[in-house]
Amino acid sequence: MSEGRLHARMAAVLLLPAMAACAPATTDDPAVRALERVLRPGDRLVLARALESGKGNRIAAVLQPAAGKPELRVYELGDGRAEPAVVHRSQQGDLFRNLVLEDVTGDGQEEILATWTGGQLEILEVLSRVPDGTYATLFHNGGQAIERRYGSGGVVEFWITSRTYEEAPGQPSTYAVAVYRWDGKAFSEIPRH
C-alpha cells in the first residue's frame, strides 16, 4: 500500500468519529421538537428557555428572522395542540441582550426580564403571566444604563440612568438616575435620598 493511501485511510479512520459527533442528534425533548416546527427557513434561534422548572410546556424563545429584528416569543405546548401556540410576542430594540427569570414582584412567580439595545439605549421589559395564560407588560423603560439592584429586604429595584439634556451649550452631558420598585400594583419611581 502506498504511503498516500495509508495516510488517506488513517485520516478517514480519525475523521469518521468526529463527523459522527457533529451530525445532528435526534432528541426526545418536546420543547426542542416544538421549536424545530416553528422555525422558518432563515430564522436563527438566539435563545430558548423553559419557563417552568422540569417541564417543557412553556418556552421563551428569541428568534432572529432572516429579515428583521430579533423577537421574543413565548410558546405554550401541550393541551392536545398539534403546534405550539404563541401567547406573547414582542420586539423592543435592535439587538437582544439577555433574558432572566426572577420574582421581582414578590408574588412567588417568576417574571421574564428581557433586555435589549436600541441605538444608544438599553431597554428593559418585565413580563408577567396573568391568570388567563397571556402575558402582561409590568414595566417597560429605557436609558443609557439599566441596573438591577436589591434594596431593603431584598426587594428588586431597577436603577435607570438617563441623560437629562439640562446642560448649557458647550457643557458636558448631564445624567440622572431614577429608581423603580414594585409597590404592590406597579413599578413606581421611588425618591432617592
Are 145 and 178 found together in one domain? yes
58 lies in a domain?
yes
137 lies in a domain?
yes
Are 67 and 104 found together in one domain? no
Q: How does pLDDT run across 80-131, given as a tens digit for each residue?
A: 666 788 889 999 989 999 999 999 999 999 999 999 999 889 999 999 999 8
183 lies in a domain?
yes
Are 126 and 34 found together in one domain? no
Single residue among 54, 71, 91 that ends a domain in this structure: 91
- Is the pTM higher than 0.95? The answer reads no
Q: What is the pLDDT of residue 141?
A: 95
Task: For residue 30, name the pLDDT band (cuts at 50, 70, 90).
Answer: low
Q: Is the pLDDT of residue 34 over 80?
A: no
Are 35 and 81 found together in one domain? yes
140 lies in a domain?
yes
Q: Using alpha carbons, select from 83, 92, 84, 82 the residue that is nearest to residue 58.
A: 84
6 lies in a domain?
no
d(CA 120, CA 186): 26
d(CA 53, CA 32): 15
Q: What is the pLDDT of residue 11?
A: 43
Q: Is the pLDDT of residue 180 over 50?
A: yes
- In three-state secondary structure terms, 169 is coil
Are 66 and 109 found together in one domain? no
Q: What is the pLDDT of residue 51?
A: 86
Are 47 and 99 found together in one domain? no
Counting the structural domains of the chain, the total is 2
Single residue among 36, 68, 91 that ends a domain in this structure: 91
Are 96 and 188 found together in one domain? yes
d(CA 11, CA 64): 38
Are 175 and 98 found together in one domain? yes
Q: Is the pLDDT of residue 15 over 50?
A: no
Domain span at residue 177 reads: 92-193
Mean pLDDT of the chain: 83
Are 33 and 101 found together in one domain? no
Mean of the pLDDT values across residues 13-28? Answer: 52
Single residue among 40, 68, 91 that ends a domain in this structure: 91
Q: Using alpha carbons, select from 138, 147, 137 the residue that is nearest to residue 177.
A: 147
Are 191 and 98 found together in one domain? yes
Are 87 and 125 found together in one domain? no
Are 96 and 83 found together in one domain? no
Q: Which residues pair with 161 in a beta bridge?
A: 145, 177
Q: What is the pLDDT of residue 145?
A: 95
Mean of the pLDDT values across residues 66-73? Answer: 89
More confident site: 137 or 38: 137
Q: What is the pLDDT of residue 55?
A: 60
Name the phi and psi angles at 79, rounded to 5. Answer: 55, 30
Report the amino acid identity of residue 58.
R
